A and B are shown apart, each in its own frame.
Chain A
Amino acid sequence: MTRWFEDIVIDEVFPLGSHTFSEEEIIRFAKLYDPQYFHVDPDQARHSHFGGLVASGWHTVSVGHRKMVDALFDEAERLRGLGQEPGVSGPSPGVNSMEFKVPVRPGDTVTYELIVTDKRPSNSLLGWGLLFNRLTARNQRDEIVYRAEIVGFSKLRDYRMPMKMKVLLALTSLPIIGPRLRRST
């Protein structure tokens, strides 16, 4: 899915689309994962400084992730349409920062956008690259709901294993020597 690491352009803006949050889904998510009173109980929420029910930040972020995954599938589809083989994206090692700025209320529409701000080959995972993604979510008044710096793995298309590694890999598949080598590396 998505593009190959080599084809990802730094600072290109990817619009990820929008999602309108209903009261029902805000409460459903929060009951499972974040049952604080201002996320699950509209009456009690009136006493909070929010003045009413708001979505769990983790909920708005999970929807943002879904939007990103959908965009990866769409991009893969577009590349297949051009007769190209799409790239491969892997799991994420982590999130450098996540800032919640403005709460999301029932009926709000949040629009998500992704920018890859930097990329480099991974040191720990041979054949994979690291993407530094900035995800920004805005509401219908163009206020920033959250901004996140998320790291992702993306497979290298042009990766060639160095000769030393190839020899080592071949040796580890031999009987007797192999298991010893695998233990020592």
Chain B
Amino acid sequence: MTNPVTRDRRHFEDLTVGEIITLGHVTVTKQMIFDFAHEFDPLPFHIDEKAAKASLLGGLASSGWQTGALSLRMLVDSFLGNVASAGGLGFENLKWKNPFMVGDTIGGTVTIAELRRSTSHPQWGIVTLDFDIRNQKDKPVMTMRLANLVECREALA
């Protein structure tokens, strides 16, 4: 049973450990920070510039969850959108290293760290991806290891 949506995309067999995906870039504006924070993270230092200056962050910065979401968006645009992805399993060791300040631009790389077949589902493989997100000054902003399911072209017998 072939999935017509993912038929022509890269499958698990087409991926290689060590492959480096170069992400695009995204610049965060004040409006983007406020929009996300009002819906998901209305702490004073994400919705008020004065409170942000007085906080540990030292100025207006995106919610860490927004930084992660924007990084995920870059991965979908540069990689997952062209892969027979079957959804995320989760992530580990996410570290917010430096705040993503208003007006900053992030980009970075994602490296395929591991590839293994699922033992319980012969039609799937698991790709493990290491994120290295940096700002325009090449300072690290976020790292994490994400696990994602990918459809296999040939299910194991």
Residues of A near any B CB (own CB < 8 A): 1, 32-38, 44, 47-50, 54, 56-58, 61-63, 65-66, 69, 89-100, 103, 125, 146, 153
B70 partner, pick from A33, A63, A94, beta carbons under 8 A? A33
The complex places the Cα of A61 from the Cα of B66 at a distance, in Å, of 11
The complex places the Cα of A32 from the Cα of B69 at a distance, in Å, of 9
Residues of B within 8 A of A95 (CB): 91-94, 144
Number of cross-chain contacts by CB at 8 Å: 102
B70-104 vs A, CB cutoff 8 Å, 1 = contact: the mask equals: 10110010001100011111111111100100000
Assess whether B157 is interfacial by the CB under 8 Å rule: no
Given A32-B73, A37-B5, the answer on whether A100 and B90 have CB atoms closer than 8 Å is: yes
Residues of B near any A CB (own CB < 8 A): 3-6, 39-43, 45, 55-57, 63-65, 68-70, 72-73, 76, 80-81, 85-96, 99, 144
Q: How far is the CB of B155 from chain A (nearest CB, A)?
A: 12
The complex places the Cα of A66 from the Cα of B65 at a distance, in Å, of 10
- A1-B43, A34-B69, A95-B93 are known; give 15 further A-B pairs, CB within 8 A: A33-B69, A33-B70, A34-B73, A37-B5, A48-B3, A58-B69, A62-B65, A66-B40, A91-B56, A92-B96, A95-B144, A96-B93, A98-B91, A100-B88, A146-B90
